[in-house]
Copies of this chain bind each other. A is one copy, B any other.
Amino acid sequence: MAASTGTSKPSPERIFNTMVAFQETEALKAAIDLDVFTAIAEGADTAQLLAAKTGTSERGMRILCDYFTVKEFLTKKTNRYSLTEDSAAFLNRHSPACLASMIDFLASPWSRRNFGALAEAVRKGGTASETGDHTKAHEEVWVDFARSMAPLTIPAAEFIAGLTGAAEAKPSKVLDIAAGHGMYGITVARRNPRAAIVAVDWPAVLEVAKENARKFDVAERHTTRPGSAFEVEFGNGYDFVLLTNIFHHFDVPTCEKLMRRVHRALKQEGKAITLEFVPNEDRVSPPMAAAFSLVMLAGTDRGDAYTFAEYQGMFSNAGFAKTTLHPVPQVPQQVLLSEN
Output the nearest chain B residue to A121 by Cβ-Cβ distance.
B60
A118 partner residues in chain B, CB cutoff 8 A:
26-27, 29-30, 64
Contact between chains at B26 and A304 (CB < 8 Å): no
- Given A15-B86, A86-B10, also A66-B283 (CB < 8 A): yes
Q: At the interface, is chain A mostly helix, strand, loop or mixed?
A: helix
A173 → chain B closest CB, angstroms? 33
Interface size of A by Cβ–Cβ distance < 8 Å?
A: 88
Contact between chains at B14 and A86 (CB < 8 Å): yes
A188 contacts the other chain (Cβ, under 8 Å)? Answer: no
A8 → chain B closest CB, angstroms? 7
Q: Which of B24, B284, B286, B290 contacts A18 (CB 8 A)?
A: B24
Contact between chains at B122 and A30 (CB < 8 Å): yes
Residue among A20, A57, A59, A102 with max Cβ neighbours from chain B (10 Å): A20
Contact between chains at B63 and A293 (CB < 8 Å): yes
Contact between chains at B122 and A57 (CB < 8 Å): yes
A59 partner residues in chain B, CB cutoff 8 A:
125-126, 297
A290 partner residues in chain B, CB cutoff 8 A:
66-67, 69-70
Q: Which of B23, B86, B291, B295 contacts A294 (CB 8 A)?
A: B23
8 Å CB interface, A34-63 against B:
34, 55-63
Q: Which of B2, B73, B88, B330 contacts A287 (CB 8 A)?
A: B2
A254 → chain B closest CB, angstroms? 16
8 Å CB interface, A274-288 against B:
282-288
Output the nearest chain B residue to A64 by Cβ-Cβ distance.
B122
Whole-angstrom CA separation of A20 from B18 in the bound complex = 12
Contact between chains at B294 and A64 (CB < 8 Å): yes
A324 contacts the other chain (Cβ, under 8 Å)? Answer: no
Residue among A2, A10, A91 with max Cβ neighbours from chain B (10 Å): A10
A94 contacts the other chain (Cβ, under 8 Å)? Answer: no
Contact between chains at B293 and A10 (CB < 8 Å): no
A137 contacts the other chain (Cβ, under 8 Å)? Answer: no
A residues with a Cβ closer than 8 A to B are 1-4, 8-16, 18-30, 33-34, 55-64, 66-67, 69-73, 76, 85-91, 97, 99, 102-103, 106-107, 112, 115-116, 118-119, 121-126, 152, 282-288, 290-291, 293-298, 304, 330
Interface contacts beyond A30-B119, A70-B291: sample of 17 additional A-B pairs, CB < 8 Å, sorted by A = A1-B287, A10-B97, A11-B330, A12-B90, A13-B288, A19-B102, A19-B107, A22-B25, A29-B119, A55-B123, A56-B125, A57-B122, A60-B121, A60-B124, A67-B290, A69-B290, A76-B282
